[in-house]
Chain A
Amino acid sequence: MSKVYHRILQIVGNVIAVEAEGVAYNELAEVTGKFGSSLAQVIRLQDKRVYLQVFAGSRGIGTGDEVRFLGHEMQVSSSDDLLGRIFNGRGAARDNRSPVTDSLIDIGGPSVNPARRVIPRNMIRTGIPMIDVFNTLVESQKLPIFSVAGEPYNELLARIALQAEVDVIVLGGMGLKYDDYLYFRNTLDRHGALSRTVMFVHTASDPVVECLMVPDMSLAVAESYALRGKRVLVLLTDMTNFADALKEIAITMEQIPSNRGYPGDLYSQLAARYEKAVDFEGAGSITILAATTMPGDDVTHPIPDNTGYITEGQFYLRRGRIEPFGSLSRLKQQVNGKTRPDHRAIMDAMIRLYADYKSTQEKMSMGFSMSDWDRKLLSYGALFETRMMDLSVNIPLEAALDLGWQTLAECFAPEEVGIKSDLVREYWPQA
């Protein structure tokens, strides 16, 4: 008993308006015309007028096209058949296989009651010392990788996905270059991980409104798997494209922009997605890793800035390495006290000394003479970069900690590293 309307009153950007009655906010409609049909979503009601954003864009839509309201919100299947499948931003199959339409659930569901959340407690081992030692990844964490175009952030995401011990991987690609999409698909396939992966991919050439759906689709699927006891890792790349799509729609809707054209609710919009990361007591969990490319390498740009306030830390990827400064895992305190007694001390001391190394390096580049202490720092800094920061290093946490002590002992005397004396006594390598 769907209602059909034939008079489109307004077409502005990707938003159309019709006069209709009994339409619910956020409801879906199907717009059919001579250039094909597309889904559309209600984004505003004003008296009899209904505004819809058209997923495929408004190009080719005629004022006499048919608008049929479907009576439900955007939905996605939550069935187990999704594994190994690839979909586009509106949930249609992208891999030339049959569509999956059973066990449909609404996307963008309500948030989890904070009283039912548990404190994150499980470390996710990645084999990357800059993560495991210095900024430990924790199950149910939400963490962006701040990077710039050209950095290997997708490679890093793929590597973490393959090495992390999770049951299901959900990949949400937004504005992905076709090459990157193929890279993810092939890499996951080559390592035998495709069969536990669901992909929602919006490529750069797809309609921009579909990009907006990708995080909600991915997270709704992740949530349904997590509720069934699975540990799910969600990879979102690139959230900057998502935010830009939000901006586009907001401007079309004549909303007052707050900062560099982005809508005032950018923070809430991003938070609604990232906050889906959760550890369900008695069921599974959702961990979110997202790539955020910083326009102009500027962390104060509204997208990375708002993201940083929402997520539980961030990794900076610069020149192919995870930067020790600025990179932060807020949840590391939950797990790094339980790994090895020296974990926190090594973590703090090595970073502090590396910061000193950086300032010594500055001094050196300005031509000042180097003291003994400066020379120690210089040799330490070089070792730190090759042994810890290089992304090709792939060693377990314990080996990385031992390597840390060894590095400190090679460069410094015990009292110079600022570590509690009892730990130094226990772990300082004996000559």
Chain B
Amino acid sequence: MPDKKGRIVGVNGNMLTAEFDTGVTQNEVAYVLTGGERLKCEVIRVRGTRADMQIFESANGIRVGDAVEFTDELLSVELGPGLLTSVFDGLQNPLNVLAEESGFFLKRGVYLNALDREKVWHFEPLAGVGSNCVAGDRIGYVNEGIFKHYIMVPLAWRGNWRLTAVTAAGDYRVDDVMAEAENEDGERRQITMVQQWPVKIPIRDYAEKLLPEEPLVTQTRSIDTFFPVARGGTFCTPGPFGAGKTVLQHSISQNAEADVVVVAACGERAGEVVEILREYPHLADPRTGRSLMDRSIIICNTSSMPVAAREASVYTAVTLAEYYRQMGLNTLLLADSTSRWAQALREMSGRLEEIPGEEAFPAYLESLIAAFYERAGLVRLRTGETASVTIGGAVSPAGGNFEEPVTQATLKVVGCFLGLSRSRSDARRYPAIDPLDSWSKYRGLADASDMDTAREILHRGSEVSQMMNVVGEEGTSLDDFVVYLKSEFLDYAYLQQNTFDAVDGACGRERQLILFRQVLEVLRSEFSFADKGAARSWFLQLRQLFLDWNYLETESAEFAEQQQAILNKIAECRCHE
């Protein structure tokens, strides 16, 4: 490690100023030595012989004159087998191990290895001695749960290498040498199961980036049918507080058809992470039958944890997602909430006394948000496999107003906008995804013509409803009133979904298509009613049948019986040509 030193000359909240002796690198990691503790910082501005650094811990007790060590390394994460099932903070400290060491509270200045050094993995070599390789080439693999975790030539290596030794199959720890390599200049290096990667730089080791076309089934009906998310695409869920952003994200993280799910709880409530931490180990992934935790990595830097580490946490999360994409897997990153990340940027920008942009967010906010979402993508790896990183970000707009800078900057770069509305959540219409405002550029499960029908009903229903507010029910024609009832029926019977019910909460592709076709039949049928009262009461009864149907398992006999009851009900009032 280079011997670069300095000392503290200023403390202003979580920004420190240090005077350095020889030189520093922008964004390099430094440590402040104070009162026997070693506190991690990142250089964020250099002026003259002074460097401004954001500290990833509380700054209490730091004095002018305290020593600073510069490391010459960018903020990096450890990549290797054992990441799955882990719970990290924003700087990749394993929180469970930390809890064993320091109890209830997060002791500052304690940094641990992200990966378990003692755990033994069974290594199978794939490459032979003498083969030529570049960064990212697979040397061998270990089995991590149900996945093949490839051990690669470290992604950060440059140039061409030749393997001079490859370890035989057997059981090893992550720090054991799996291979040795030599480059054209005769430099020799060792390859272990662990490698480092700087979090703010995307992993770009693939043949080409492809257009995301396949839907990523989330098992939430209003998303998959109406506003689909694509594998390798991006989506955002802005919404005021209390509209159900987090419940929706949890539901997606449990039910989405992804191989690996990285959940980044960024500056949000600790209690919400705890639900994941405590429940996922006991929930089964319906696709594999194994614990949900086996496919999850949780990064949690909750709101009371240091702000600078919050900024790092989304990058840590996306880097881990990209790493598993290199294994040929489809990964999903859920970041809750990107607004907190933006606020961390704002706090730091304020401390740096930069000229503020809109709502005091820094002027570079948009480009940072764009760069983050652009790290998603469907790619063809050099091995020919396709793999993806899908990113879904929750946005918490101030005052629930989507005009604010973070929401607007996000909308410019995502492929799907799931806007949550306060009026829907107030009326307990969950998920509160607004069916009129939301949009998606991706292709969904249902046919385009069917979707047009459904959307048309929603739009016309909303128009009739607004009209009724002005002219009243009596001023509305029976035909218009039936359109309104149909749109309400579509909302209740299909768009609304009970996340907390095991059956209704997870609505797979096949089931969605069955339900949707049945709903469509109602939407497309002509009905004759004596008057509005009769129409309302018939639709209420029909709605009740669908509600009960939604709670029945697809394979059960009751499901078929209930569908028959629905068909009978429809036949009661349908016009016959």
Contacts and interface: CB of A to CB of B under 8 A. Distances in A.
B533 interface: yes
A300 B17 CA distance: 36
Interface string A45-86: 111100000000000000000000000010000000000000
Interface string A299-343: 111100110111011100000000001101011010001000000
B270 A300 contact: no
A111 B304 contact: yes
A53 B268 CA distance: 30
Interface residues of A, number: 84
Contact of B346 (A24, A26, A264, A310): A264
A140 B182 CA distance: 57
Contacts of B422: 326
A300 B107 contact: no
A76 to B, nearest CB: 15
A16 to B, nearest CB: 16
Interface in B332-359: 337, 340, 343, 346-347, 349-350, 353, 356, 359
B38 interface: no
A45 B11 contact: yes
Given A256-B353, A259-B398, A264-B360, A48 B304 contact: no
Of the listed residues B9, B58, B104, the one surrounded by the most CB atoms of chain A closer than 10 A to its CB is B104
A25 B302 contact: no
A369 B277 contact: no
Interface in B237-287: 240-242, 267-271, 273-275, 277-279
Contacts of A420: 547-548, 551
B63 A25 contact: yes
B469 A363 contact: yes
Interface string B216-233: 000000000000000000
Nearest to A115: B95
A143 B401 CA distance: 23
Interface stretch (B115-123, B186-194, B372-380, B536-544): B536-544
A206 B488 CA distance: 56
B540 A416 contact: yes
Contacts of A100: none
Contacts of A301: 399
B36 to A, nearest CB: 13
A371 B533 contact: yes
B544 A421 contact: yes
A275 interface: yes
B347 A264 contact: yes
A258 B536 contact: no
Contacts of A369: 472-474
A421 B10 CA distance: 67
Interface in B99-116: 99, 102-108
Interface residues of B, number: 86
A116 B469 CA distance: 52
Contacts of A299: 399
B304 A115 contact: no
B61 A264 contact: no
A258 B279 contact: no
B307 A268 contact: yes
Residue in B107, B271, B307 with the greatest tally of chain A CB atoms within 10 Å: B271
A234 to B, nearest CB: 15
* Residue among B62, B99, B426 with most chain A CB within 10 A: B426
Interface in B46-62: 58-62
B424 to A, nearest CB: 11
Contacts of B107: 110
Contacts of B532: 371
Given A110-B108, A115-B99, A265-B13, A421 B548 contact: yes
B205 to A, nearest CB: 32
A265 B347 contact: yes
A263 B13 CA distance: 12
A35 interface: no
Contact of B99 (A113, A256, A348): A113
A430 B98 CA distance: 58
B96 interface: yes
Contacts of B500: 333, 337, 344
Contacts of A259: 359-360, 398
B54 to A, nearest CB: 13
Contact of B274 (A111, A117, A416): A117
A259 B472 CA distance: 41
B550 to A, nearest CB: 10
Contacts of A308: 240-242
A340 to B, nearest CB: 16
Contacts of B11: 25, 44-45
A352 B427 contact: yes
B427 A372 contact: no
A271 B473 CA distance: 47
A128 B340 CA distance: 34
A106 to B, nearest CB: 8
Contact of A275 (B58, B98, B270): B270
B79 interface: no
B512 interface: no
A111 B551 contact: no
Contact of A363 (B396, B472, B544): B472
Nearest to B275: A119
A112 B104 contact: yes
A46 B271 contact: no
A429 B528 CA distance: 34
B83 interface: no
Interface in A364-415: 366-369, 371-374, 415
Contacts of B60: 24-26, 73, 108
A7 B532 CA distance: 84
A368 B474 contact: yes
Interface in A14-35: 21-27
Contacts of B278: 118-119
A24 B104 contact: no
B64 interface: yes
A310 B541 contact: no
A371 B270 CA distance: 48
B90 to A, nearest CB: 12
A186 B397 CA distance: 42
A313 B343 CA distance: 21
B469 A362 contact: yes
A335 to B, nearest CB: 13
A94 B473 CA distance: 63
Interface in B356-399: 356, 359-361, 396, 398-399
Given A326-B242, A355-B426, A256 B473 contact: no
Contact of B105 (A25, A109, A272, A367): A109
12 contacts: A26-B61, A44-B11, A47-B64, A108-B60, A113-B103, A115-B98, A264-B347, A274-B304, A362-B469, A368-B475, A415-B540, A416-B540
Interface of B: 8-13, 17, 58-65, 87, 95-96, 98-99, 102-108, 240-242, 267-271, 273-275, 277-279, 300, 302-305, 307, 337, 340, 343, 346-347, 349-350, 353, 356, 359-361, 396, 398-401, 422, 426-428, 468-469, 472-475, 492, 500, 532-533, 536, 540-541, 543-544, 547-548, 551
Closest 7 CB pairs of A and B: A300-B399, A368-B472, A271-B303, A275-B304, A258-B360, A308-B241, A115-B95
Given A113-B98, A371-B473, 13 more contacts: A45-B63, A110-B108, A113-B95, A113-B103, A114-B273, A116-B104, A119-B278, A256-B350, A264-B350, A267-B267, A271-B304, A305-B400, A325-B426
